[in-house]
Structure 1
Amino acid sequence: MKKLSVLFAAVMMVVSVGMAKAQKIATLDVMAVLNAMPEKKKADADIKVFLDAKQAEIKKKADAGQAKLKQYSEEAPKKTAEENKARETELQKLQEEIAQMQEKAQKDLQGKQDIAFAPIEKKLNDAIEKVAKASGFEFVMDSNSSAFVYKGGADATAAVKKELGIQ
């Protein structure tokens, strides 16, 4: 019985090693491919323009709020308690508006990124799938992944860039 279990264990080891060797695994530097794609460069530029505009809008509102705060602080001793309370309420409302603007800008940015990067991601995934099938790769792993422990197989980065027509 003991010999049978040892024999079974040995057979399982040989089978599993054989299966592991039969699998073709390649690595891919996804970020290098993405950064070389002209579509991504254009999307990044468009998003930067959008973000800069939103930040300028928020800064303008914040600067106006700072100016009011400075003015109200200087005039506070000369005003009545009722006027100061109204001014304080106004400043709080302005602060809430700025926070809402920042929140909306973040949501708008996320939506714009999702829309801009969806076709790029699809194009990359289609190219990876085509190259993997043509090369017989069963797995293509991102070489930048923190979970990636060993890189010794073929690298599909050049083939995917070639499929996309980029350098």
Structure 2
Amino acid sequence: MKQLKTLVITALLFIGTQTFAQQKIAHIDVQALMTTMPEMKTAQDQVRKIQETYDKEYKGMVAEYQTKLQKYDQEAATVGDAVNETRSKEMQDMGARIQKYEQDARKTLGDKELELIKPIMEKAQKAIQKVAKAKGVTYVLDATSGSGVLFAEGGIDLLADVKKELGF
């Protein structure tokens, strides 16, 4: 009985390894693909322009804050406590508005970047799938550095074929 059990387990392992050995595995550096796509460069330029606009506005707000703060500090000794208290409250409110603007700008910029990159990622994914199917590949691993693929030598590298499929 024990020998029969061992024989069945051995047979299952053999069949499992044979099935896996028949699978074609390929890899692609998705990051390299994405950074070379013309659409990605266009999206990055759009994000950069939006960021420059936000940076300019933010710097203007900070400059105005600093100018008022200097003025109020210089005049603090000559004006009354009520005026100083009002000015202090004004500066706190202005500081809070600047912080909120910075947070909102970061969120909006991140959302815009995702909005621009999502269709590019989908296009790359479709091209990878099309090339993989054409080559009879069952699994495609992301060979981007730090993606969890520890070793990818040999096998099928789809990067050149996917670039060709995308027209560049």
- Using the aligned pairs only, state the percent identity: 34
| Worse overlay, 83-92 or 16-25 | 16-25
Deviations 1:14-58 (A, max 9, x none): 112112211111110111111111111011011101101101101
1:149 aligns with 2:150: yes
Match for 2:164: what amino acid? K
| Worse overlay, 130-139 or 145-154 | 145-154
Unaligned runs of 5+ in 1: none
Hey, which bits of structure 1, 4+ residues long, moved more than 6 A?
none
Unaligned runs of 5+ in 2: none
User: Aligned partners of 1:42 and 1:146: how far apart in 2?
Assistant: 25
1:122 aligns with 2:122: yes
Structure 1 residue 98 displacement after superposition:
0.6
1:43 aligns with 2:43: yes
1:71 aligns with 2:71: yes
Structure 1 residue 92 displacement after superposition:
0.6
User: Aligned partners of 2:59 and 2:142: how far apart in 1?
Assistant: 39
Match for 1:146: what amino acid? S
User: Aligned partners of 1:37 and 1:14: how far apart in 2?
Assistant: 43
User: Aligned partners of 2:12 and 2:150: how far apart in 1?
Assistant: 24
Give the length in aligned residue pairs: 166
Structure 1 residue 149 displacement after superposition:
2.4
Structure 1 residue 124 displacement after superposition:
0.8
Match for 2:165: what amino acid? E
Deviations 1:69-88 (A, max 9, x none): 12212221222111111011
